[in-house]
């Protein structure tokens, strides 16, 4: 068994590896998986064979005997974006497109680890609340593992492609009369009482999978951390996970620096931005979160404490963007770089643009933007804003007439 501890980030209380616990029973704090880094061989990361999340299993909480539940997640491309960079006045801009995971979002990285843990624990089923992508991802891994899956979605608030995935892969889907934060509150109690395994990002095993975004980004840059990492923030698990990944690389002496972690939220759902800007130690939840970027329509981010630490301790930033700015950035990614993303993902670029205009970001920074989910997940707005296909007779002259 790889040696690690499950530890409360506030009071340091420790929990056994086979104990099912998501937040500290003593103080309510978030949990983290801690390794004995002195005994991790950095060559097992730097020279590991294979690709994807499990390539980095020297820093995953499983022994060599564990057989992962995997659909070959991770190993997503890191694109150099010179056209977009030039338009923004940036010299070294990259986009890591997490929409190219098996279910179309980065959630797969967390779920391969989370569902592997669920199987190891021998639980009778897995469950989550979701704005869409978590449920789609959990459904595919539960299908692969052959275990029951229950998902709670806020009614009328989830993009069609994501619901279709959860349904098609065999999850029991519930349409909850309430928002995401209500769904998470309900499913947490359900999991306690019914002995189901909760796979929202409050579960620290999920973040272990997601931290591999940092490993891959650094690896593709020749084992160097970028100066800045920008991503959309909803429940704030991903920013916390990626920060942890970069911290580990530095601890092991693989890289020298940690990027300035920069989290972007939508104007209608920005508790982290508010806390960052006011210097408040904790967030004030937003009771009625609203934005077209449904994946980050979250008012009470469960990982806020970890995320604020990630942003503050790296000299990072946090900014909010409007729905129009998100849509515009989505169009630019699609048309200047060939990168098709769902609205939430475009928040990273929209935020970058805003911070550059404010003079907060220097033109020569090496910047990696994470685009979290695929365009096909949520094409509704795209169909509204793009010119509709023109109907044409089956005749070349008629076609030529209509072409611009």
Ligand X SMILES: *Cc1c(COP(=O)(O)O)cnc(C)c1O
| Structure tokens, 363 | 């033109």
Which one of Zn ion, ligand X, none is in contact with 24 (Cβ closer than 5 to 8 A by kind)? Zn ion
Query: Minimal distance in Å, beta carbon 25 to Zn ion?
Result: 8
Closer by beta carbon to ligand X, 93 or else 296? 296
- Cβ proximity to ligand X: between 211 and 353 the closer is 211
Residue 207 or 355 having the CB closest to ligand X: 207
The residue among 70 and 294 lying less far from ligand X, judged by its C-beta, is: 294
Q: Crossing angle for the helix pair 160-168 and 133-145, nearest 10 degrees?
A: 20
DSSP 57-117: GGGSS--TT-----S------EEE-HHHHHHHT-SEEEEEEGGGSTTSBTHHHHHHHHHHH
- Distance CA(78)–CA(153), nearest Å, equals 31
The least distance separating ligand X from the CB of residue 172, rounded to whole angstroms, comes to 21
* Contact window for Zn ion (CB under 5 A) among 10-18, 315-323, 327-335, 346-354: 10-18
Among ligand X, Zn ion, none, partner that 13 touches (CB below 5 to 8 angstroms by kind): Zn ion
Instruction: Select the binding partner of residue 133 from Zn ion, ligand X, none (C-beta < 5 to 8 A, by kind).
Output: ligand X
Q: Which two tokens stand for residue 123?
A: 């639980």
Closest CA to 52 of 121, 114, 98: 98
| Cα 14 from Cα 29, distance rounded (Å) | 12
Q: How many Cα atoms sit within 13 Å of 319 on the Cβ side? A: 24
Q: Residue 22 CB, nearest distance to Zn ion (Å)? A: 12
Of 111 and 308, nearer to Zn ion (C-beta) is 308
Distance CA 75, CA 52 (A): 4
Binds Zn ion (CB under 5 A): choice among 2, 4, 5, 13: 13
Look at residue 114 and give the partner it binds from Zn ion, ligand X, none, a contact being a CB closer than 5 to 8 Å depending on partner kind.
none
Q: How far is the CB of 70 from Zn ion (least distance, A)?
A: 32
Q: Which stretch binds Zn ion (CB under 5 A): 7-15, 37-45, 50-58, 215-223?
A: 7-15
| Binding site residues, ligand X, CB under 6 A | 105, 107, 133, 201, 232-238, 295-296, 342, 344-345, 372-373
Contact 198, 231 (CB under 8 A): no
Q: In this structure, are residues 335 and 61 in contact, taking their beta carbons and an 8 Å threshold? A: no
Give one DSSP letter per residue of 11-72, joined into a string: T--EE-TT---SB-TTT--BEEEEE-GGG--THHHHT--S-SGGGGGGGSS--TT-----S-
Structure tokens at 244: 């942890």
Instruction: Return the number of the residue (88 or 207) whose C-beta is nearest ligand X.
Output: 207
Q: Which is nearer to Zn ion, 10 or 366 (CB)?
A: 10
Q: How many CB atoms lie within 10 A of CB 167?
A: 15
Q: Restricting to residues 17-76, which ones interact with Zn ion according to CB under 5 A?
A: 24, 26-27, 29
In sequence order, the β-bridge partners of residue 266 are 269, 321
Minimum CB distance to ligand X, residue 202 (Å)? 10
Q: Shortest Cβ distance from residue 266 to ligand X (Å)?
A: 10
Q: How far is the CB of 372 from ligand X (least distance, A)?
A: 3
Min. distance of Cβ 129 from ligand X in angstroms? Answer: 11
Q: Which does 342 bind (CB under 5 to 8 A by kind): ligand X, Zn ion, none?
A: ligand X
Residues contacting residue 323 through CB under 8 Å, at least 6 positions apart: 266, 267, 268, 291, 292, 293, 343
Residue number closest to ligand X, CB atom: 373
What are the CA-CA distances from residue 173 to residues 96, 128, 153, 166 (Å)?
A: 30, 10, 7, 7
58: burial class by Cβ within 10 Å (0-12, 13-18, 19+)? Answer: middle
The answer to the question of residue 8 lying near Zn ion (CB under 5 A) is yes
Q: Report, in Å, the least distance between residue 297 CB and ligand X.
A: 10
Residue with tokens 């002259």: 397
From Zn ion, ligand X, none, interface partner of 233 (C-beta below 5 to 8 A by class) = ligand X
CB closer to ligand X out of 311 and 344 = 344
Residues that bind Zn ion (CB under 5 A): 8, 10-11, 13, 24, 26-27, 29
């Amino acid at each position: 068994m790889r040696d690690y501890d499950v530890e409360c980030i506030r009071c340091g209380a420790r929990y056994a590896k086979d104990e099912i616990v998501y937040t500290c029973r003593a103080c309510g704090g978030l949990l983290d998986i801690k390794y004995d880094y002195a005994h991790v061989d950095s060559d097992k990361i730097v020279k590991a064979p294979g690709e994807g999340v499990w390539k980095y299993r020297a820093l995953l909480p499983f022994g060599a005997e564990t057989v992962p539940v995997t659909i070959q997640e991770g190993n997503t491309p890191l694109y150099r974006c010179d056209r977009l960079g030039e338009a923004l006045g940036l010299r070294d801009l990259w986009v890591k497109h997490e929409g190219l995971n098996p279910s179309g979002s980065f959630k797969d990285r967390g779920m391969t680890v989370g569902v592997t843990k669920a199987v190891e624990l021998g639980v009778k089923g897995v469950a989550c609340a979701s704005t869409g992508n978590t449920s789609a991802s959990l459904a595919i891994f539960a299908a692969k593992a052959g275990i029951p899956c229950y998902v709670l979605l806020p009614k009328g608030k989830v993009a069609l492609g994501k619901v279709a995935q959860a349904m098609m892969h065999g999850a029991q889907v519930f349409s909850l009369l309430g928002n995401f934060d209500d769904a998470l509150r309900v499913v947490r109690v359900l999991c306690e009482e019914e002995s189901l395994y909760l796979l929202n990002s409050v579960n620290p095993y999920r973040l272990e999978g997601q931290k591999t975004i940092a490993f891959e980004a650094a690896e593709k840059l020749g084992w160097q951390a970028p100066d800045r990492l920008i991503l959309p923030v909803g429940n704030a698990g991903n920013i916390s996970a990626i920060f942890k990944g970069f911290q580990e690389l530095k601890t092991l002496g693989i890289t020298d620096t940690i990027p300035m972690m920069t989290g972007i939220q939508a104007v209608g759902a920005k508790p982290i931005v508010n806390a960052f800007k006011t210097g408040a130690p904790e967030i004030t939840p937003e009771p009625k979160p609203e934005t077209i970027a449904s994946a980050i329509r979250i008012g009470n981010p469960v990982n806020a404490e970890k995320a604020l630490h990630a942003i503050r301790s790296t000299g990072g930033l946090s900014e909010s963007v409007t729905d129009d700015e998100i849509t515009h950035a989505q169009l630019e990614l699609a048309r200047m770089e060939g990168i098709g993303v769902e609205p939430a993902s475009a928040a990273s670029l929209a935020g970058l643009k805003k911070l550059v205009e404010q003079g907060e970001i220097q033109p020569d920074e090496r910047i990696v933007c994470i685009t979290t989910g695929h365009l096909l997940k949520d094409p509704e707005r795209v169909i509204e804003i793009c010119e509709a296909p023109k109907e044409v007779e089956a005749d070349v002259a008629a076609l030529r007439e209509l072409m611009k």
